[in-house]
Structures are given as C-alpha cells and as structure tokens.
Amino acid sequence: MPKNSKERVLISGNWKMNQNHFEALKLIQELATLLHSVNAISVLPESTKVSIHPPFTSLRTVQTAVESDHVPVFLGAQTCHYLDKGAYTGEVSAEMLAKLGVQYVIAGHSERRQYCYETDDIVRKKVDAILKHGMYPILCVGETLEERQSGQAKQKVKDQLDQIFFSRNESEARNIVIAYEPIWAIGTGETASSADAELMCGYIRGEIASLFDDNLAEEILIQYGGSVNEGNAVELLHQDNINGLLVGGASLDAKKFVDICCADASV
Ligand code: PGA
C-alpha cells in the first residue's frame, strides 16, 4: 500500500441484518457485473479498495462468489467474538472469520454498542482478536445528537479512541481503520455536512498523531459513515482527512454502491 493515506480509499458496504443467502448471492452477482464493467473502463481507481460485510449466514456464499467470479472486493464481517473458541452460544470468533478469508471486521458499531451493550473494553478485546488473526478492524467511533448539541462530540470520540489505541504498538495501530460515524446520521437520511465530517476526521487524525506520531497519523485510514449515498459520496471523499466511506443502506443497492465506489474517480 502507498504510504500516504490520501492515496488510498476504502469503501465498505455494511449489509447489517439484511440479505439471506439467496439474496446475498444475487447482490454479489450484480456487484460483480457492475464492478467488472467499471474496471473494464478504468473508472474504479486502483487505489480504491472495496469491502463487503454480509451477515454471518451469507459469508460463505459471498466468499465463494467473490473467488469464482474474481470480484474486486474484500470479504468483511460485521462483528466477531474476541475469544477463539469456547462455550459462547451464538457467537462467531475472529479465528473462524479469518479461516473464511475475511479481511476486514467492523468493531464497535454504534448499533452493537447500543443493542448488544458492547463497552469500549469489549471493543478493545475484539480489535485485539481481529489483529491477532491478521485481519483489519474497522473501528467505529461517534457521538450521539445529545453529545453533539452539548459540545461533547470531540471528547466522546477522543475517549473511544484512547480506549483502543492506548499502549498499543505502532505496527498494530497502523492496521486499524477508523470509521467516524455520528450516531445521529446513521440510517436517518441525515448526513453530517462534509465540513463537519472533515473537522472530526481531522481531529481524529490529530489524536492519532498525539498518541503516536505524524507519520502514523498520515498513514491511518479514516472513513466517514452515516447516510452516505451516491449523491454525497464525492464531496465527502473530497475532504483531506476522509479516506473512505462506511455505507449501510445504500450498499444494498448494487448500482448505488458501485457509484459510491467510483466516487473517488471524480475527486
Ligand atoms: P447508513 O449506515 O449508511 O444506513 O446510515 C451506516 C452504518 O451504520 O455503517
């Protein structure tokens, strides 16, 4: 990978609890067709990487399709357990995901923090497990509307970052992708303005610089997420500190998602 993070872009499609394995197969095939045609006309920039995060039940189906059709996407997961194995009914470990060829795993998505009571401590253990098994964590951070309105947004994000990056070695830190996702913008149709998103992503980069150094902060990938669509992707990617997008709803529509993936070409 090139050194400067601005030369690299990661667009991630988080399918959440959507797409049974039949639907997942159809969607990945549609994506394959579109991405192949896009590649053929060289619109998808070479520096843009794409990851797809289906539910666990569709991972194997998507993995097989990606491999057999040479779809230019990396396999991703939405979460994992932090232990390798054991009596944890219903859980899936990072080790199991790595064996399936998963490369990116979302950690600490606000929906999991809210509905599954995941604390920063749990998220840190998940990040450790994902790194241990050679995958890239996509660490989600972000504030609620209340926190933003009361001027607490930066402090909230700083606290979340500190919990994950504190006393972590540099080689691990540089493999963590950070997704800034203001909670009030997720699934609401309300996007942070590109200026607000840039401000917070710049703040995040500054925090990483103060925890490590400028070089590492330059290298780290920072995504924005929250109601990204094919209309706002270009402007968001135009910002200096935004290296990618974490896309929920719009990633369920192959055409919209591929348009978002190609947005960096127009930057
Ligand atoms: P959204 O979801 O694009 O539907 O707002 C983003 C996310 O939760 O990652």
**Tell me, what's the pLDDT at 37?**
85
Q: Which of 181, 230, 232 to mutate to test the pocket of ligand 1 (most atoms within 8 A of CB)?
A: 181
Per-residue pLDDT tens over the stretch 163-184: 999 999 999 999 999 999 999 9
- Counting from 1 in the atom list of ligand 1, the atom nearest the Cα of 246 is 9
Task: Report the C-alpha gap between 224 and 186 in whole angstroms.
Answer: 11
User: Do residues 219 and 5 touch, judged by C-beta distance below 8 A?
Assistant: yes
Task: Report the C-alpha gap between 68 and 65 in whole angstroms.
Answer: 5
Active site residues: 109, 181
The residue whose CA is least distant from atom 6 of ligand 1 is 248
Q: For the beta carbon of residue 183, count every other beta carbon within 10 angstroms.
A: 21
User: Do residues 19 and 58 touch, judged by C-beta distance below 8 A?
Assistant: yes
Per-residue pLDDT tens over the stretch 58-94: 999 999 999 999 999 999 999 999 999 999 999 999 9
The residue whose CA is least distant from atom 1 of ligand 1 is 248
Which is nearest to 237 in space by CA: 2, 7, 79?
7
Task: Report the C-alpha gap between 129 and 134 in whole angstroms.
Answer: 9
Give phi and psi for 262, each to the nearest 5. Answer: -90, 0
Per-residue pLDDT tens over the stretch 182-236: 999 988 887 789 999 999 999 999 999 999 999 999 999 999 999 999 999 999 9
- Counting from 1 in the atom list of ligand 1, the atom nearest the Cα of 111 is 8
User: Do residues 221 and 5 touch, judged by C-beta distance below 8 A?
Assistant: yes
User: What confidence category does residue 44 fall into, taking pLDDT thresholds of 50, 70 and 90?
Assistant: confident
Q: How far is the CA of 43 from the centre of ligand 1 (A)?
A: 24
Q: How far is the CA of 225 from the centre of ligand 1 (A)?
A: 6
Q: How far is the CA of 235 from the centre of ligand 1 (A)?
A: 17
Asked whether residue 41 carries a pLDDT value surpassing 60, the answer given is no
Rg of the chain (C-alpha set): 17
Q: How far is the CA of 176 from the centre of ligand 1 (A)?
A: 19
Q: Which of 12, 14, 104, 138 to mutate to test the pocket of ligand 1 (most atoms within 8 A of CB)?
A: 14
Alpha helices per DSSP H over the chain: 21-40, 56-69, 94-99, 110-115, 120-132, 145-149, 153-165, 170-173, 194-211, 214-219, 233-237, 254-261
Give phi and psi for 153, each to the nearest 5. Answer: -60, -50
In Å, how far are 54, 143, 210, 212 from 161, measured between CA atoms? Answer: 26, 12, 12, 12
The residue whose CA is least distant from atom 9 of ligand 1 is 248
Q: Between vectors from CA 205 to CA 82 and to CA 115, what angle results, nearest 5°?
A: 40
Q: Using DSSP, state whether 27 is helix, strand or coil.
A: helix
User: Do residues 13 and 53 touch, judged by C-beta distance below 8 A?
Assistant: yes
Tokens standing for 60?
A: 């194997």
User: Do residues 106 and 79 touch, judged by C-beta distance below 8 A?
Assistant: yes
The residue whose CA is least distant from atom 3 of ligand 1 is 248
Which is nearest to 126 in space by CA: 100, 155, 95?
95
Q: Over pLDDT 70: what percentage of the chain? A: 95
The residue whose CA is least distant from atom 7 of ligand 1 is 248
Of 147-151, 187-191, 247-251, the one with minimum mean pLDDT is 187-191
Task: Report the C-alpha gap between 176 and 183 in whole angstroms.
Answer: 20
**Tell me, what's the pLDDT at 254?**
97
- Counting from 1 in the atom list of ligand 1, the atom nearest the Cα of 140 is 9
> Which residues, at least 6 apart from 85, have a Cβ–Cβ distance to it below 8 Å?
93, 95
Which is nearest to 85 in space by CA: 75, 97, 77?
97
